[in-house]
Amino acid sequence: MVRASTRHVALLVALAYLHTGGACGGGSGSGGSPPVTTIDPPPDERCLALPSQFPAGFDLAVGAPGRGLAASFNPGVVVPVDVESVPPRSVATGPLVDLRSTIAQDACGGFLDPAFDGVVSVASNLALVTASSCEAVAFLDPVSGGVREFNVSTPASAAAGAWPFSPAPGASDLRVALPTRTCVTVPVGTLDSRGAPVVPTRCDLSQPSFFSSFTSGAAVAAGALFVSVSNLGANAGSPNTQFLPGTVLVFDFDASATPPSVGPSATGAVLFTSGFNPTQVTAYRSPSGRDFVLVTVTGALGLAPDDPLTPEREAGGRPLTNAAIDVIDAVSRRVVATIPLGLAAPSFDRLAIDPTGRVAIVGSAVARQLYAVDLAPLDTLVLAPGAAPLVLDGSTGPDAVIFDATAPLALPAIPNGAPVATCPGYVVGADFDATGTKLFATDFCDGTLAVVGVDLSGNPPVPVPAVSTRFAVLQTLPITAPLTTASLGLSRAPGAVRVRPGRPGVDYRGPDVLFLVSLPEGQLCGVRIDSR
């Protein structure tokens, strides 16, 4: 009897268990108002909080004085901002919506999250956002921060599968983003950054090939859209990253059409850069009106290994292959020249070009240095059809190098700044003021803004002499805390910098220099340098 009763209990328990198990539903955590994660305004009164750390980019709005666009990484949004106010303020008229899902639908079949990489203002009604992972260039309305539709087409001559996420060859489609994933084929024997031959992959099993990846920059010139694609291969982010041959994709582009249109150039949509890792393209119109696109070719990058002979733990970046500024003739859509910079590792923001168009300057991703090239030779550049690009270091063309890896323009470190062993300097961005006499450069490591005096008066020779009377560091201003263990919690790691056009105090009253901050939250800060 006892045995039967005990079994009865066990059975009862089991039945209750079975009955309850599948019957209980649950909620979705949606009670009450929507949950809100808050990012409070930063304590620095010069700064506007942005939605994520490491903001993807910032640009001043073309054709809209006093306005700018700040792109965030996660969520993927572009915040239209009023840069006249202190701090800059958002002028979004309503809630912004994370754009990544919409972009992914149009650019990569909804499979991969677009990782916003940068924003560039093209016209008063158009801005472009570059995104990697889901490789794309998205079209945005700079006023609202929302997306715009373009008629995206693929030339009929394109090979099937060459543009896997674009419309079929010969077809077109209204889309908010342009796919930049394409199958790149290279000649047999082409080497990657590790010196190994590029091999056939699934994008083209018949020849060495790879899918383009890490869309990094966009520029519009001469009716074409130029998109730099870094083409990182295996082990991205590791000390042993593989860099595949760098490319710039070329698209026919007509923003004035109805609807505006874009599509891979039928006459050659893939240009190869002179080195690995093209990280940015900058549109440039020469004094005589020739349109070029300048490509920042950073070269393969690695990490400095720890030196066991030093007490510090080294962690800085290390250039592995040569860098250059490649010159694309925007009309003929070919690389016509390259300006070697050596083992420089130029940084990834666009080139700073002085208002006269004479000099282009870029920072270093691995050192507290600037590099500069003279653009004067481009105005008269002539390249025969089929000829190799000229090398503008005095070998096959005029010497256009002002500051390169062997003779850089060094920026000073600050006392008690970031440890040299781990963060020896990273000049993220640089920009000229409207007069062309001052250049502002941000250092990620020390949290500084360097002010460099530039004197291009008197029609200097080519290249502009790299002398202190022409280029001199005037000031090094701390704008955030340095990247040290003691600065945890403070604003640090400044990013891209932009200087407003016009005369401060005359053409506008607000800040003249705007820069991004990466940590602890993303920020856009405005400072008035000229008023000091």
Partner 1 sequence: MRSGDDDERVRNRAARCGPLALAVAFAASAALAGESAEPEAPPRPPLVTREVPGVVAREAQPVEQPEDPSAFTTVINVDDYRDEVTTTADLLSRTPGVQVRRFGGEGQPAEISIRGSTPAQVIVQLDGVPLNSAQSGGVNLATLPLSLLERIEVSRGGGSVQAGSAAIGGVVNLVSRRPGGQRRSDASFTGASFGTYRGSAATAGTIRDVEYVFAYDGFGTDGDWKFRRPVLDVGGVVIEPDPPTATRINNAAETQAGLFALGHDLGENAHVTLRDQIFFESRGQPGLDSGSVGAAGQRPNAHERTTRNVLGATLEGADLSPLEIDATLDLWHRYQRTRFHDPDIVPSLGTTIENEDRNDELGTRLGLERAFPLFATQHRVSLSLEGAHDTLDSDTFASQRRNAGGIVLQDDAGAFDERLRLIPALRWDRTEGFGAEWLPRIGAIATPLPWLLIKGNLERSFRVPNFDELYFPDRGYIRGNPALQPEQAVNADAGVKLTAPPIGPVHDAFVEAAWFHNDIDDSIVFLLVSPSLVEPRNTGAATVDGFELSGGFGVTEWASISANYTHLDARIDATDTPLPGRADDETNVRIEVGTPSRAVRVIAEMQITSEIPVSDSGNTILPARTVFDAAISVDLVRFAWWPAQIPARSLLLTLEGTNLTDRTVRDAQFFPQPGRSFAMRVETQW
- Which residue number, 375 or 449, has a Cβ lying nearer to partner 1? 449
If you compute the radius of gyration of the chain from its CA atoms, what whole number of angstroms results?
A: 26
- Which residue number, 27 or 385, has a Cβ lying nearer to partner 1? 27
100, 113 contact by CB (below 8 A): yes
Q: How far is the CB of 242 from partner 1 (least distance, A)?
A: 9
Q: Supply 530's token pair.
A: 């000229």
CA atoms of 496 and 430, how far apart (whole Å): 7
Q: How far is the CB of 143 from partner 1 (least distance, A)?
A: 15
Q: How far is the CB of 259 from partner 1 (least distance, A)?
A: 23
Sheet containing strand 200-201, edge to edge, reads: 183-185, 204-211, 200-201
- Which residue number, 50 or 250, has a Cβ lying nearer to partner 1? 50
- Which residue number, 101 or 457, has a Cβ lying nearer to partner 1? 101
Residue 468: which residues within 8 A CB-CB, separation 6 or more? none
CA atoms of 272 and 248, how far apart (whole Å): 6
- Which residue number, 239 or 394, has a Cβ lying nearer to partner 1? 239
- Which residue number, 330 or 445, has a Cβ lying nearer to partner 1? 445
Q: DSSP class of residue 434?
A: T
- Which residue number, 303 or 383, has a Cβ lying nearer to partner 1? 303
Q: How far is the CB of 34 from partner 1 (least distance, A)?
A: 5
Q: Which residue has the tokens 């201003």?
A: 477
Q: How far is the CB of 307 from partner 1 (least distance, A)?
A: 13
504, 528 contact by CB (below 8 A): yes
Q: How far is the CB of 465 from partner 1 (least distance, A)?
A: 31
Q: Work out the number of other CB atoms within 10 angstroms of the CB of residue 414.
A: 16
| Distance of alpha carbon 53 from the chain centroid | 15
Residue 399: which residues within 8 A CB-CB, separation 6 or more? 392, 393, 462, 463
Q: Supply 214's token pair.
A: 């890490």
Q: Which residue has the tokens 């066991």?
A: 308
